[in-house]
Amino acid sequence: MHEKQHWVVILIVLCFGQFLVFCGMTMIVPFLPLYIQELGIHDPVLQTRWAGLIFGINFLSTMIMQPIWGAIADRYGRKMMLVRSSLGMAVMIVCTGFATSVWHLFILRFLNGTISGFQPAATGYLSANTPKDKMGFALGILQAGGISGLLIGPLVGGWLAGMIGFRAIFLVTGVAMFIAAICCILFIKEKNEKNTHIQKPVFTIWDGYRSILQNKQLNTLFFATFIIQFILLSSTPLLPLYVQSIVPTPERVAFFAGLVSALTGLANMISSPILGKLSDRIGSIPVMTGCMLIASIFLTTHAFAKTITFLLISRFLLGLCIGGITPAIQSLIRKLTPQEKISRTFGLNSSALSLGNFAGPILAGFSASYIGIAPIFIIQAILMFISGIIVPYLLRKHATVIEHRSNGN
């Protein structure tokens, strides 16, 4: 009973912390392209390109740093990573509110990615302290906490943009990050097991990752994380501009851009715990496969949105599918990872995620300047459908035994 209470308490604290971090981060998403306009970029072609660059550069630096932070967490403790990332992001995002040029915004987003990493730190800490037969459910709940932040953040950001202006929202975001850090300091207890890691022989970072990278099943899951994020994030910085093209009243663009993101988050929050629990029962691979194939259908409908209502429905249905993909991938990664390598494995997965987050918006931003935004959704749908076939095939091809229905995993 004590063990159950322990992981549940950890889940609650990390879920709340992740809610605050995601809420703070996504407050700026609805107006980031509009903030670029305020910084002097008025050409529509340049706006789409800068939106992709500024949105994606954050994830490039994240991709570079996450394996390093993961190795440090495994050796010296995971709580430190939670506090470091939330406090660091609080400082960087507050500074972003004082940007005076688009280049300042670009540099600050790069630095923010360097210091970030709350989500992989929380995932690693939770997975190290959760019974394996509860892994899918726990990770689904953790994702729901983050997604609820994605739900509230854009709505609050879109609403505050018209109330206090763009720059003041960065201060609000920084406060949310700071509160998340305080929660981790007060309520997360570091286990003594970190000391045993310190006493082990010291290896280079590459030596520590070599055995992980030799696992073909994990490599397949890293690829799945990359391609999913590449697909989903490629259109994110373009959505406000897409909303702007179909909303007849300009003063409502920021609100509807926030609502589009919020509905996706709402659907994700609803489906993540349900589909996570389902993956504990029938297996993570079937749940992940079904969600990816169905998501390709709803990505297609985005391209044919002529009204904001149609777009909102499409985003909601897509969000329901996405809620089953990430927890399934994370659950499979945890089952294939030794206890002493959890943080560095999730650090590699976070790098794959960040690479997708970086490459997707940049390529989509440049492509949209030539072919428009609507065709981007068609390309997303094709990639999602192909991935829904290839990833499960590779997992089963390389796996001896990943999961057994008989033990509920």
Q: Give, for 200, the enclosing helix (H) or strand (E).
A: none
Say what the pLDDT of residue 300 is: 92
SS3 197: helix
Tokens of 372: 């428009």
Token reading at 59: 């994830």
Q: Which of 245, 207, 174, 220 is nearest to 20 (CA)?
A: 174
Encoded tokens for 25: 């981060």
The per-residue pLDDT of the chain, averaged, comes to 79
- 405 secondary structure, DSSP code: G
Q: Which residue has the tokens 């050409």?
A: 43
Encode 105-119: b = buried (16+ Cβ within 10 Å), e = exposed: bbbbbbbbbbbbbbb
Q: How far is CA 108 from the centre of its chain?
A: 19
Letter string b/e over residues 164-186, b meaning 16 or more CB atoms within 10 A of that residue's CB: eebeebbebbbebbbbbbebbee
Q: In degrees, to the nearest 5, what angle opens at C-alpha 140 toward C-alphas 136 and 144?
A: 175
* pLDDT of the residue at 289: 92
Q: With bands split at pLDDT 50, 70 and 90, how would you rate the model's confidence at 150? A: low
pLDDT, residue 193, reads 45
Q: Where does 2-407 sit in CATH, by number?
A: 1.20.1250.20
Model pLDDT for residues 198-242, shown as the tens digit of each residue: 344 444 555 556 667 777 888 889 999 999 989 887 887 788 788
Q: Three-class SS of residue 330?
A: helix
**Long-range pairs for 43-50: beta carbons < 8 A, 24 or more residues apart:** 45/369, 47/241, 48/238, 48/241, 48/365, 48/366, 48/368, 48/369, 49/365, 49/366, 49/369, 50/102, 50/106, 50/365
Q: What is the mean pLDDT of residues 89-105?
A: 87
- Cβ burial 340-352 (10 Å sphere, 16+ → b, else e): ebbbbbbbbbbbb
Spatial distance between the Cα atoms of 323 and 288, rounded to a whole number of angstroms: 9
Q: pLDDT by residue (tens digit) across 291-331?
A: 999 999 999 999 888 888 899 999 999 989 988 888 888 88
* pLDDT for residue 281: 83
Quick: pLDDT tens for 38-78. Answer: 888 878 778 777 877 787 677 778 778 877 777 777 777 77
Work out the percent of the chain whose per-residue pLDDT is above 70: 87
Q: Is the pLDDT of residue 376 over 80?
A: yes
Give yes or no for a contact between 53 and 36, defined as CB atoms under 8 angstroms apart. Answer: no
What six digits make up the tokens of 268? Answer: 């994700």
Contact 210, 220 (CB under 8 A): no
Residue 23, number of CB atoms within 10 A of its CB: 27
- Rounded mean pLDDT, 379-390: 93
Amino acid at 45: V
% of residues, the chain, pLDDT over 90: 11
Q: Is 63 helix (H, G, I), strand (E, B) or coil?
A: helix
Provide the pLDDT confidence category of residue 251 given band limits of 50, 70 and 90: low
Sequence-distant (≥ 6) Cβ neighbours of residue 202 within 8 angstroms: none
* H/E stretch holding 59: helix 44-76
Higher-scoring residue by pLDDT: 15, 140: 15
- Judge whether residue 397 has pLDDT over 70: yes
Is a pLDDT exceeding 70 seen at residue 191? no
Region 81-100: what's the mean pLDDT?
Answer: 87
Instruction: State the DSSP string of 14-54.
Output: HHHHHHHHHHHHHTSGGGHHHHHHHTT---HHHHHHHHHHH
Q: Residue 352 has what pLDDT? A: 84
Domain boundaries, the chain: 2-407
Alpha-carbon span 140 to 273, nearest angstrom: 4
Range of 85-89, 306-310, 383-387 with top mean pLDDT: 383-387
d(CA 353, CA 347) in angstroms, rounded, equals 10
Neighbouring C-beta atoms of residue 213, cutoff 10 Å: 13
Reply yes or no on whether the pLDDT at 345 is more than 50: yes
Q: Would you state the pLDDT for residue 210?
A: 65
Task: Centre a 10 Å sphere on the Cβ of residue 253 and count the other Cβ atoms it contains.
Answer: 23
pLDDT, one tens digit per residue, over 107-128 is 988 888 888 878 777 877 887 7
What is the pLDDT, as a whole number, of residue 96?
84
